[in-house]
Amino acid sequence: KRLAPTGEIGEPLVGSMRQDVAAAASTASPPQSNEPKVVGSGSGFFVTSAGHVLTNSHVVEKCGLIRVRSSDGSTNPVRVLTRIERDDLALLKGEIKPGATAAFRSGPPIRQGDAVLIYGFPLAGALASAGNLTTGNVVAMAGIRDDTRLIQISAPIQPGNSGGPVVDSSGNVIAIVVGKLDALKVAGDMPQNVNFAIKSSVAINLLETRGIGYEVAVSERERSAADIAERVRAFTVKVECLR
């Protein structure tokens, strides 16, 4: 049983988007100058008005430089404040004043069957550069081998979605995309659309350990998918890895 591109669950969540980096590197033209080239990308989102960004650790692993690109196309350099390979989370910081920041869900916990939406930047260069929204449900409250750091979701994800926000029907963050099960035989069958995300409680623990404030909001009002897309697009960014 493997996650693509995240690696085994139950072990440290290491290396997820390496697949993206490798794919980008293998198709890129040979460098013609000493200028850094984009060799891979993932997604992330602003958690403070001071420019803190959450993403996956594997998205920024082995990057020489990192920058974030907003839906409007603007780019800003960021640096890694901390990487937690076991939980596959990274906290970035740039001299940025984001137009919006994410709020983590407060109040009643999510339940199996709850609706979820994902925003991110999958398959860079092939799909819409302004970002993509997918929808689904919470399938299970744990990951492979009952890993309680994760939830399983039915919203489709692709390379490039890693690190992006998973939000509830109010637009509040409940998890961070991390990967999907490889198309390998499991119990004699081929798994399809088996996707996982890191629970927001794991990310909140990281922020609190670093002494970084964050916003929470009670999920009371159900919004349309279009309204949520507009809201989430404002705080979600493409994270570009350069070497």
Does the annotation mark 88 as catalytic? yes
For 142, other C-beta atoms within 10 Å of its C-beta total: 15
Does the annotation mark 58 as catalytic? yes
Using alpha carbons, select from 101, 174, 164, 100 the residue that is nearest to residue 137.
174
61, 221 Cβ separation under 8 angstroms: no
Report the b/e string of 164-194 with b at 16+ CB within 10 A: bbbbbbbbbbbbbbbbbbbeeeeeeeeeeeb
- If you search the block for the tokens 């279009």, which residue do you land on? 226
Catalytic-role residue among 57, 162, 170, 219 = 162
CA distances from 185 to 151, 182, 191 (A): 21, 9, 7
State the SS3 of 34-65: CCCCEEEEEEEEECCCCCEEEECHHHHCCCCE
Using alpha carbons, select from 58, 64, 99 the residue that is nearest to residue 78.
64
Kindly state the greatest CA–CA separation across the chain: 54
Catalytic-role residue among 20, 87, 88, 168 = 88
Does the annotation mark 162 as catalytic? yes
Catalytic-role residue among 20, 52, 58, 70 = 58
Query: Which runs of consecutive H residues, i.e. helices, occur in the chain?
Result: 18-27, 57-60, 200-209, 225-233
User: Which residues belong to the active site?
Assistant: 58, 88, 162
